[in-house]
Amino acid sequence: MKLKNLILLTSAIVFLGAGDPNSGKDKVAVCAGCHGADGNSLVGIWPSLAGQNKNYLLKQLRLVKSGDREIASMIGILDNLDDSDLQDIAAFYESKTNTVGIVDESKVDLGRKLYYAGNLEKGVPACSACHSPRGLGNAPAAYPLLSGQQPEYVAKALKDYRSGERINEDPSKIMAAIAYKLDDVEIDALSSFVHGLY
């Protein structure tokens, strides 16, 4: 009985929505101003969406549309879109190739250590456990791709998790518990490291 429920739950997570990337192309014009024409943001505070798994992105779009995740710059942008539009947008961005940046050399060692081994003394798990060794995320679990992500955005996200400002879903609660244990130096190193992770 428990195995059957687990299989049903897993299926529900994997099939959050199919989406059509070709239809999505016509629906992302307004997104390009912040996230780049192909989903690779040119402004550090806005996340890159190119290559992001559609399960994670669709979940976030739904949260933003419902108001459960407040992003001031996105207020009203999704109001006229239905769920199939959101699925198309998520599929479009997933179909794009993300651009990987360069790690600040002074932050490589600490960033690598935290990403692959965590910090046992502080009870911080390795980021690679959920986001994969190459930062590709975990699509069935809707855990995001981090490889190439803008460092300013990652730092802000981690600080928002740490402060409790961003707790709008179950995985966010996990991230809040982890980020709470990270100091600014560690957040800065991690943010730089994932920007260049491939």
> How many Cα atoms are found within 13 Å in the side-chain-facing hemisphere of 102?
3
Q: Tens-digit pLDDT profile for the chain (198 aa)?
A: 444 444 334 434 444 568 999 999 999 999 999 999 999 999 999 999 999 999 999 999 999 999 999 999 999 999 999 999 999 999 999 999 999 999 999 999 999 999 999 999 999 999 999 999 999 999 999 999 999 999 999 999 999 999 988 887 666 788 999 999 999 999 999 999 999 998
pTM flag (> 0.95): no
CA 25 to mean position of chain CA atoms: 20
The Cα–Cα gap between 85 and 13 comes to 19
CATH 3.90.1300.10 fits 2-94, yes or no: no
Question: What are the start and end residues of each CATH 1.10.760.10 domain in the chain?
Answer: 2-94, 105-195
| Phi-psi domain of 123 (left: phi exceeds 0; alpha: psi -120 through 50; beta: other) | left
Superfamily of domain 105-195: Cytochrome c-like domain (1.10.760.10)
